[in-house]
């Protein structure tokens, strides 16, 4: 992947709505039910993913089908990177397969060679962040885990310029530093770690499961533990900040609205 492709820039969607979905983890049937409920229109709307499409759920093999759709866009998550580290090159990094399998990657053993190639090729093209321009002029970012700087422009420049396998790229898909500050606030504590992101209207994160979808300052946290007991899949609309969280075991069980932190 070339450096300029690490940030995928999306022009305004002038035909329909843009939605952002939290970590899917192979629960694509739940996603389909959720999209049906919110009236998602594949001819007009776009769905932006914070990453972690695969592992821990029953339908990880379906990720390639969604990545092939013109209305679906995803940032790279650490689970996609674990797969690429294991099967995406000529050599396997020491311990890569064991790490991936410990984190839900064993489903890959049942995938045929052609499907494996298609999926691996699609994952290798995933950017580390999405930069979305809205028709009203607002700027929205989508990233998996964290940003390597407090200002958006500085962070995306660092991602674009980073060497392969750099700590900057690892931070983007693995770090829980910013999420840790959110979790501290949930526990009634204060953290010195800044959470908000300067120079952008809103940034959506995944990676760290939260007890509910969280809104804090200009950040939104959409991983609501779809793979956990009583987990949910959360989807937000960019136009009005609407939020739906669907129970995995019964998609008719829907929570509305963000848990707002101050």
CA–CA dist 72, 93 (Å, integer) = 30
User: Considering 61, 79, 144, 171, which one is annotated as catalytic?
Assistant: 79
> How many residues are listed for the chain in this entry?
262
Q: How far apart are CA 89 and CA 12, in angstroms?
A: 35
- The pair phi, psi for residue 235, each rounded to 5°, is -135, 135
Tell me which H or E stretch contains 82.
helix 78-87
Q: Is 79 known to be catalytic?
A: yes
Between CA 8 and CA 78 the distance in angstroms is 17
Q: Tokens representing 167?
A: 């700590």
Q: How far apart are CA 215 and CA 3, in angstroms?
A: 31
> Is 126 in contact with 75 (CB distance < 8 Å)?
yes
Contact criterion met (CB below 8 Å) for 96 and 71: no
Strand stretches in 14-159, DSSP E: 18-21, 46-49, 72-74, 129-133, 139-143
How far from 37 is each of 30, 34, 72, 99, 176, CA to CA, in Å? 11, 5, 17, 36, 31
Q: Identify the three-state secondary structure at position 113.
A: helix
> Rg of the chain over CA atoms, in angstroms?
17
Residues noted as catalytic: 79
């Amino acid at each position: 992947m070339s450096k300029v492709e690490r940030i995928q820039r999306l022009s305004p969607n002038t035909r329909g709505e843009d939605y952002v979905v939290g970590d899917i983890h192979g629960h694509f049937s739940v996603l389909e039910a959720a999209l049906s409920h919110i009236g998602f229109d594949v001819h007009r709307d776009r769905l932006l993913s914070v990453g972690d499409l695969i592992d821990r759920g029953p339908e990880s093999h379906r990720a390639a089908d969604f990545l092939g759709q013109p209305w679906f866009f995803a940032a790279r998550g650490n689970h996609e990177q674990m797969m690429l580290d294991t099967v995406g090159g000529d050599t396997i990094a020491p311990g890569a397969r064991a790490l991936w399998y410990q984190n839900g990657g064993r489903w890959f053993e049942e995938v045929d060679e052609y499907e494996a190639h298609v999926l691996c090729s699609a994952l290798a093209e995933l950017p580390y962040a999405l930069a979305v321009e809205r028709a009203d002029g607002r700027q929205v970012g989508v990233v998996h885990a964290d940003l390597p700087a407090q200002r958006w422009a500085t962070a995306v420049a660092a991602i674009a310029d980073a060497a392969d396998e750099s700590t900057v790229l690892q931070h983007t898909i693995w770090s829980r530093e910013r999420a840790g500050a959110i979790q501290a606030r949930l526990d009634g504590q204060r953290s010195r770690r800044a959470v908000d992101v300067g120079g952008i209207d809103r940034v959506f994160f995944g990676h760290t499961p939260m007890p509910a979808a969280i809104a804090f300052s200009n950040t939104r946290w959409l991983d609501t533990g779809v793979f956990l007991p009583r987990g949910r899949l959360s989807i937000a609309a960019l136009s009005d900040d609407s939020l739906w969280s669907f129970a995995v075991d019964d998609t008719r069980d829907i929570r509305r609205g963000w848990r707002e932190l101050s």
